[in-house]
A and B are shown apart, each in its own frame.
Chain A
Amino acid sequence: QKEVEQDPGPLSVPEGAIVSLNCTYSNSAFQYFMWYRQYSRKGPELLMYTYSSGNKEDGRFTAQVDKSSKYISLFIRDSQPSDSATYLCAMSLGYGNKLVFGAGTILRVKS
């Protein structure tokens, strides 16, 4: 079993839809949780960062962490074609430790 599980998709939604992306993990010691967006042939770019449990909102993006369920989510409101990319969840035991990534979910937003 992988440390971080993420449904690879692809997930196809119409423009304006609310998108929900999820990851589960097995190591309860993870403390830092991140979401990265990767466009084709580009490097991953950091979208959202949360420390411990709770919600964090940034514009159209909301990240949720539920440590009791070992489950993290990224919600995208009013999705746009420019949101079409691969979304990678990542987590770490602590600062300075390696990031462990999920396999990434391919998202396609149709106009």
Chain B
Amino acid sequence: DTAVSQTPKYLVTQMGNDKSIKCEQNLGHDTMYWYKQDSKKFLKIMFSYNNKELIINETVPNRFSPKSPDKAHLNLHINSLELGDSAVYFCASSQFGSRPGVNYGYTFGSGTRLTVV
């Protein structure tokens, strides 16, 4: 029973196309995130939603638009894809407002490997 699941796992598409990645978590967490991992394995946050409300929006081109229909789902839509968007995109979830000392770790999905050609 997968805790954080992303679809699709692989996505190969042409420059200029629009694509979406979906994420669902069944952990009962109230906060979800999108991270981008580049070719050098560096993980950088893009967005965070808490109970469907956007709380973190890093400097990301506005071609990227997240949507959270409910606290268990977070999708990422990308318009006008560019070569530089090729990366692995990870969804993660955690419980906001955990008390200090309580495990505050993210649970990550297995990633969506996006290749723009």
Residues in chain A within 8 A of chain B (CB atoms): 8, 31-32, 34, 36, 38, 41-46, 49, 51-52, 86, 88, 92, 95-96, 98-101, 103-104
Q: Is B61 an interface residue (CB 8 A)?
A: no
B residues 65-117 with Cβ under 8 Å of A?
Answer: 90, 92, 94-101, 103-111, 113
Given contacts A43-B90, A43-B110, contact A99 B103 (CB under 8 A): no
**In the complex the two chains form, is A103's CB within 8 Å of B42's CB?**
yes
**In the complex the two chains form, is B41's CB within 8 Å of A43's CB?**
no
Given contacts A43-B109, A43-B110, contact A49 B45 (CB under 8 A): no
**In the complex the two chains form, is B45's CB within 8 Å of A103's CB?**
no
The list of the 8 closest CB pairs from A to B, nearest first, reads: A43-B108, A46-B105, A96-B96, A101-B43, A98-B45, A104-B41, A43-B110, A95-B98
Closest residue of B by beta carbon distance from A43: B108
> Using Cβ atoms and an 8 Å threshold, which residues of chain B touch A36?
108
B39 to chain A, nearest CB (A): 12
Count of B interface residues, CB-CB < 8 Å: 34
B residues 29-55 with Cβ under 8 Å of A?
Answer: 31, 33, 40-45, 48, 50, 55
Closest residue of B by beta carbon distance from A92: B104
**In the complex the two chains form, is B108's CB within 8 Å of A44's CB?**
yes
Q: Is B27 an interface residue (CB 8 A)?
A: no
**In the complex the two chains form, is A104's CB within 8 Å of B42's CB?**
yes
A19 to chain B, nearest CB (A): 18
From B31, B41, B42, B105, give the contact of A96 (CB < 8 A): B31
Q: Is B12 an interface residue (CB 8 A)?
A: no
Give the distance in Å from the alpha carbon of A51 to the alpha carbon of B100 in the complex. 7
**In the complex the two chains form, is A103's CB within 8 Å of B41's CB?**
yes
**In the complex the two chains form, is A51's CB within 8 Å of B108's CB?**
no
> Using Cβ atoms and an 8 Å threshold, which residues of chain B touch A100?
45
A95 to chain B, nearest CB (A): 5
**In the complex the two chains form, is B43's CB within 8 Å of A44's CB?**
yes
